[in-house]
Amino acid sequence: MSSSGITAHGIEMTFTRRGRSNTVLQSLDIEIEPGSFVTLLGPSGCGKSTLLKILGGILRPTAGDVRIGAKSAADAVRDKEIGLVLQRAALLPWKTARENAAHLRHLARGDRKEAYRAADEALELVGLSHAADRLPHELSGGMAQRVSIARALAMDPTILLMDEPFGALDAITRDTMNTTLADIWAATGKTILFVTHSISEAVFLSSTVHMMAANPGRVVDTIDVELPRPRTDEAFSSPRFAEYTARLREQLHPAQIKEAIA
């Protein structure tokens, strides 16, 4: 399945509760090229996760339009073109890693043999073939998250949405997972939209970083990360890496954000 891009125009999202309205996103345009690795970065409460869910057809915006390739977001969801990985792995505790990885594909398409074939390929891609028969309580946090990525990949989506998938992991495991994800992206060519609070993670992984500001949420800066690939640990110590992280850190400062949206 070839990769698809995402185009969104005029996105607004307002939640109303007990007669009071809260505009989370306003006048937001974004374009994600097919096969790119794009990160949404910004402070808590700026609407990153809400935007990810809108772009993935999980939430319907108050205003605006989202296209997945030539399709509407709803049609892309119906056609199983979008995979989702959340911060918590949410594995079924009574199923092995292999069974968890096959679960969604089996439910969606009914072919058990094909589901397990796809799960085996996905587990190999995330480096967990050796742990296929382990139950979730026998897996480390990083291994469990790799199973959740394998579960999404087994569906063979054109787009992978990842909402702070490594936020609960320790620093060493998180670095390992970043390298694993970069390898998966290079091997599959899928479009990946990634949400994080980590500046260094965003720079290490991304083709493009969209910096968001809050109240209401909007994109205030877009940076194309032009670092050579494959990116290794040496990338963190390069002068160019430091320049990217410094620019993004400046944007996260409230005074800088106010200036950017004035």
Structure-token pair, residue 159:
């787009």
Residues 191, 229 share a domain: yes
Asked if residue 198 lies in contact with residue 27, where contact means CB atoms within 8 angstroms, the answer is no
Domain boundary among 156, 178, 207: 156
Whether residue 191 lies inside any domain: the answer is yes
| pLDDT value, residue 255 | 41
Torsion of CA 49, 53, 56, 59, to 10 degrees: -160
| pLDDT value, residue 234 | 85
Is the bond preceding residue 216 a cis peptide, omega within 30 degrees? yes
| pLDDT value, residue 13 | 94
| pLDDT value, residue 45 | 87
| pLDDT value, residue 209 | 96
Residues of the chain with pLDDT under 50: 255-257, 259-262
| pLDDT value, residue 259 | 47
The model's pTM is 0.90
Domain boundary among 156, 176, 198: 156
| pLDDT value, residue 20 | 87
Whether residue 238 lies inside any domain: the answer is yes
| pLDDT value, residue 257 | 45
Our count of domains for the chain comes to 2
Domain boundary among 120, 140, 156: 156
Q: Half-sphere exposure (CA, 13 Å, Cβ side) for 41?
A: 30
Residues 145, 27 share a domain: no
| pLDDT value, residue 253 | 67
Where in the sequence is the domain holding 55, given as residue range(s)? 6-81+158-261
Tokens 């959340």 -> residue: 86
| pLDDT value, residue 252 | 76
Residues 167, 187 share a domain: yes
